[in-house]
Structure 1
Amino acid sequence: MRLILLGFGVVGQSFVKLLLSHSTDLYSEYGIKPKVVACADNGGVITCNQGLDLDRLLSVKKKKKSVVQYGSITGSSGILDVIENMDAEVVIELTPTNITDGEPGKSHIITAMKSGKNVITVNKGPLALEFPSLMELAEYNRIEFKFSGTVGGGTPILEFAKRCLKGDRILNLEGILNGTTNYILSKMYEGLNFSQALKDASEKGYAEKDPTLDIDGYDAVAKLVIASNLVMNMKSTMSDVQRTGIRDVQAIQVVNERKKGNAIKLIASCDGKKLVVAPKPVSKKDPICVDGTLNAITFTCQHSGQQTIIGKGAGGMETASSILRDLIDIRNIIRS
């Protein structure tokens, strides 16, 4: 399979490492012999019809900071031209999430779809802002559009709901979809105040220099929109979600809830009509009351009752595993 890789940060590099370490199994079990024919980062794009040397690509990125230093086989075209004209079956879009306008990921995805290429992304922005129109465009162009890593990283939250709960009706979903805020609230449960917990999260690398997307709830909102649209057939965007972050959670509130056997968690929920992201008390006996950076979500179904899935919500290798999972799915669909 010929791949175009857009974005070569932690997740992109982890994905390439997975391709290298799993090359034998990918071919013997799934018939996949991947070739990365183009790779782009914020320095530019490089192309090679015969496939780039992945070990060399990783080395160049580590030593010289940009893939454009790869060598003489450098693409002179812009990224959109490469997406449109390069011979490839799958475009893997891994640029940073932008919840303001979805760019540049949105343009990358739309261009790929219009040129008849299958798309895999872990970029939440385009889906959170324009989920219905992107799904329609994928269907119109008869391509596969996979994004299992956008919610839960390597934990197959979306795949679990779509496959394991097939035939049932999901009435409600509720859970913790952001690891950074869950870590902060877990530390507050242990006795830190908000500022101390945020500082601790930053020092451990769980919080960005600008933690706004996490602590103000935007990241959880984006994931809730994607999950509710996919598994509950909603037609929502981020503007439809009632959002409250965790900035105003006070240490005394956490202490008072702890005395009652509860912990305050940033909960994302959808009942089929209303979408909400807000901090609320959760019983310590509730399966979604996980600590640290874990994610957890409970699906309430018409026939099978409550089903909960728990796992790591982030991490380069974990998220890269979701891309590999999506790639295998696309390969199986193409073969059938």
Structure 2
Amino acid sequence: MTIRVAMIGLGNVNRNLLTILSNKKDRLKNDFQIEFKVVCVADSSGIAVDSNGYNPEQICALKVSGKKVRDFSGYLSEEKIETVMQNIDCDLIFEASPVDLKTGGAGLTVSRIALQRGISVVLANKAPLVLAFQELHLLAKKNHAGLRYSATVCGGLPVINIGQRDMIAANVTKLCGIFNSTSNFILDEMAIGRSYTDALAEAQRLGIAEADPSLDVEGWDTANKLAIIANSILNYQATLQDIKVEGITHITTEMLQRERAQGRVIRLLAIAENDSLSVKPTPIREEEFLANCSGWEMGVEIHSDIYGIMYHKLWEREPVPTAASMLRDAVNICCGHWGKSGALCIRD
């Protein structure tokens, strides 16, 4: 079974996905009878299409050398992405373009058109879900397309999958988690004596934090993930307006050290409990599970009526696990595995 795919966005996540597709080509054939053929690539310079397929290794090599899609064979100089998506012959979209939480950007446009055409979508981009979760799921169901997005929440940690697949008939009574490793790293650095400014600068030097870290440190990246979780697992039709959000910019080294003297640490927690959603810096006892998710780690604690209390965490410094999550989602779609966006997507 050959799956024709479009790669929208060629940043770290999709480039790592291309490497995985190349390295795991034989494994995917042997284990799942699937071969992925990349027939379309897009970045900020434009779109290129080749029905014969692009070599994943060559795409990565060209990008690493400083080339852009406009330098690729099959470059469509005058075409807009909307037009290409309306006409392209493909089965699945890997969408990892830059996050645009105001308009949804290319990610939302591509997702809408693809799902309307019955083309499955795998997202690493949170914006389409945050802005149009219900709409996209209705489109997927109506047009018998797959829609998966486990990479949007905690990268390689399968929070969405656990909630949708492994907690059948459960009522989740409480969910809390650390979903942003940038803020977690900064708080840990401050706890050992660094100022907020110095801790942020170190995070930026290491490539953990963006030049504009506001989404991370003001709590909005965590809130985006909590909104996706709420809609996916908790049966809340939640938007960002339903979440009380407080970041870490007001936290001081002195506050952290005072808590430490009392046997507590401060973590930026996403909390869903009693029909309330919040993101806030929260003191927790040192012996608690989430208190021991430090530095690069992300974690989640899920309480339910029939499955007890689950604890999961992940150490993820590189984007490889996030890219691998996109592959996992694609295989689940193509092989007709479990799903929540309508009927199972079993291919003929």
Other-structure match for 1:300:
303
Equivalent-residue separation in structure 2 for 1:226 and 1:314 (angstroms):
22
Q: How does 1:34-49 map to 2 (within 5 A)?
A: 34-49=36-51
Other-structure match for 1:223:
225
Q: How many Å apart are 1:87 and its aligned residue?
A: 1.0
Alignment match of 2:175 (pick from 173, 176, 187): 173
Paired residues, number? 335
Q: Which amino acid is 1:304 matched to?
A: Y
Q: How many Å apart are 1:70 and its aligned residue?
A: 1.9
Equivalent-residue separation in structure 1 for 2:290 and 2:167 (angstroms):
18
Equivalent-residue separation in structure 2 for 1:271 and 1:131 (angstroms):
21
Structure 2 counterpart SS, 1:39: strand
Other-structure match for 1:201:
203
Equivalent-residue separation in structure 2 for 1:101 and 1:283 (angstroms):
40
Structure 2 counterpart SS, 1:40: strand
CA-to-aligned-CA distance 1:270-292 (integer Å, 9 cap, x gap): 12511100001011111112100
Evaluate the alpha carbon distance shift between residue 313 and residue 138 of structure 1 in structure 2; reply closer, same or farther with a 3 A threshold.
Answer: farther
Other-structure match for 2:339:
none
Other-structure match for 2:138:
136
Equivalent-residue separation in structure 2 for 1:168 and 1:155 (angstroms):
20
Equivalent-residue separation in structure 1 for 2:84 and 2:132 (angstroms):
24
Evaluate the alpha carbon distance shift between residue 248 and residue 105 of structure 1 in structure 2; reply closer, same or farther with a 3 A threshold.
Answer: same
Equivalent-residue separation in structure 1 for 2:335 and 2:171 (angstroms):
26
Does the 8 Å CA contact 1:4/1:83 hold for their aligned counterparts?
A: no
Does the 8 Å CA contact 2:302/2:311 hold for their aligned counterparts?
A: yes
Q: How many Å apart are 1:320 and its aligned residue?
A: 0.5
CA RMSD across the alignment: 1.4
Structure 1 counterpart SS, 2:290: coil
Evaluate the alpha carbon distance shift between residue 11 and residue 118 of structure 1 in structure 2; reply closer, same or farther with a 3 A threshold.
Answer: same
Q: How many Å apart are 1:316 and its aligned residue?
A: 1.9
Q: How many Å apart are 1:313 and its aligned residue?
A: 5.2
Other-structure match for 1:61:
63
Q: How does 1:94-173 map to 2 (within 5 A)?
A: 94-173=96-175
Q: How many Å apart are 1:169 and its aligned residue?
A: 1.8
Q: How many Å apart are 1:200 and its aligned residue?
A: 1.2
Structure 1 counterpart SS, 2:40: strand
Does the 8 Å CA contact 1:56/1:70 hold for their aligned counterparts?
A: no
Alignment match of 2:15 (pick from 13, 16, 19): 13
Q: Which amino acid is 1:44 matched to?
A: G
Structure 2 counterpart SS, 1:51: strand
Other-structure match for 2:248:
246
Matched, 1:74 2:72: no
Structure 1 counterpart SS, 2:54: coil
Q: How does 1:280-295 map to 2 (within 5 A)?
A: 280-289=282-291, 290-295=293-298
Equivalent-residue separation in structure 1 for 2:249 and 2:270 (angstroms):
16
Q: Which amino acid is 2:217 matched to?
A: I
Other-structure match for 1:27:
29
Other-structure match for 2:235:
233
Does the 8 Å CA contact 1:97/1:125 hold for their aligned counterparts?
A: yes
Q: How many Å apart are 1:314 and its aligned residue?
A: 5.9
Q: How many Å apart are 1:137 and its aligned residue?
A: 1.9
Equivalent-residue separation in structure 1 for 2:193 and 2:62 (angstroms):
45
Other-structure match for 1:329:
332
Does the 8 Å CA contact 2:69/2:75 hold for their aligned counterparts?
A: no
Equivalent-residue separation in structure 1 for 2:34 and 2:306 (angstroms):
38
Other-structure match for 1:319:
322
Other-structure match for 1:4:
6
Structure 1 counterpart SS, 2:51: coil
After alignment, is 178-187 or 77-86 more displaced? Answer: 77-86
Q: Which amino acid is 2:202 matched to?
A: D
* TM-score normalised by L of structure 1: 0.96
Structure 2, unaligned stretches of length 5 or more? Answer: 337-345
Does the 8 Å CA contact 2:46/2:75 hold for their aligned counterparts?
A: no
Other-structure match for 2:85:
83
Equivalent-residue separation in structure 1 for 2:100 and 2:241 (angstroms):
15
Structure 1, unaligned stretches of length 5 or more? Answer: none
Structure 1 counterpart SS, 2:65: helix
Structure 2 counterpart SS, 1:34: strand
Equivalent-residue separation in structure 1 for 2:259 and 2:152 (angstroms):
31
Equivalent-residue separation in structure 2 for 1:309 and 1:39 (angstroms):
35
Other-structure match for 2:278:
276
